[in-house]
Structure 1
């Protein structure tokens, strides 16, 4: 081998010796970057945090970093609905299985009260005073037949009555029988006849209603069963 060839070979060997560490450094750096070490960007301090230290959760109108839209939070169950849940089945109660409760909550007609009986007597004399004898007759039980008169006989009995004023007292003596209810309503009357004479009466009306199953609304309502009225003579 000539001197020139030896010098060229030596020069190449020296160049390779110098370049090898640098190559190794680059390879190490590449490996560190691939492994997330060395001078790579710092990893988030906590899951869900960005490299800037700010939350990676998008703000209003922002697109999340992952490209997946945020999932809406589940709506909270209303407190009043939760309280109604059956602890055993986790279901809401069936209204059809609830206790009937009072008549109003069960959707049934309200039961007539003693004051409803008073209202019947008030309507009765209001009808007589206005000459509506058929309406007054219908306020007796059994379609008026409890008065023991026909509609015509009933009307004729008030033919000479020009005006009547009734003072109604508090209902009393309620009685309950088998499917029947009774109550008494005291009354004081001042009747003016067509000839101008004034007559006064006092007494009691007994009202009745039926409470058996299958009774009609008319039968369940208070109606006049009987009357015990006497004329009050003026003191001499």
Structure 2
């Protein structure tokens, strides 16, 4: 009896609001929310879920192996560490199914995600669980009165459709207004400008 499942087709059906991710297609270089593609081909006995096992730091598909000690000094919300905290909160909200709150952490009231709140929720409703490891934020860059910082991120999740794992690696770019006259507290808060992810295939 053939129990095989067309994984890509199932994921595409679950993610009909966005295009499937093709890492070699330049048209997807700015796609903030790649479709979930199962990235493991391990054989697991029926009735058992394959354990989620993201690659460790320094390994292919893992976060950078940054051995620099993390400062324990207090940090402000406007700092790079504050941006990292936003990324951590964003993924925690997705994991908890609080999609509207996560969507609002995108710049311009969610508009930077290029999805409506409903489509955003549909995107992540395809997962039975969703987790992220967050790397050390980079340095803050400035330009045209704005501040930008990039944070490494590693995604490990599981699709509802067939319980297969999904692994992705990439970066989250956040943006906020600089310390300029007239900027509101909301404009000075870090918000997500772009998320760039690519699949990590585990064997």
User: What's the offset of the Cα at 1:131?
Assistant: 0.5
1:129 maps to which residue?
A: 95
User: What's the offset of the Cα at 1:174?
Assistant: 2.4
User: What's the offset of the Cα at 1:159?
Assistant: 1.4
Answer yes or no: is 1:176 the counterpart of 2:142: yes
C-alpha contact (below 8 Å) 2:80/2:139 kept by paired residues: no
2:194 maps to which residue?
A: 226
2:185 maps to which residue?
A: 217
Aligned length: 126
2:16 maps to which residue?
A: none
Relative to 1, partners in 2 of residues 1:163 and 1:175: Cα closer, same or farther, differing over 3 Å?
A: same
Q: Indicate the RMSD between aligned Cα atoms, in angstroms.
A: 1.2
- Structure with greater Cα Rg: 1
Name the structure, 1 or 2, with higher relative contact order (CA <8 Å, separation 6+). 2
Q: Secondary structure at the match of 1:135?
A: helix
Answer yes or no: is 1:201 the counterpart of 2:168: yes
After superposing on structure 2, the runs of 4+ consecutive aligned residues of structure 1 that deviate more than 4 Å are none
The CA distance in 2 between the partners of 1:123 and 1:162, in whole Å, is 18
The 5 Å alignment of 1:94-173 reads: 112-173=78-139
Structure 1: gaps of 5 or more residues: 1-109
Deviations 1:72-130 (A, max 9, x none): xxxxxxxxxxxxxxxxxxxxxxxxxxxxxxxxxxxxxx661111101101110111011
The CA distance in 2 between the partners of 1:115 and 1:131, in whole Å, is 25
User: What's the offset of the Cα at 1:215?
Assistant: 1.2
The structure with the largest helix share of the pair is 1
TM-score of the superposed pair, with normalisation by structure 1? 0.52
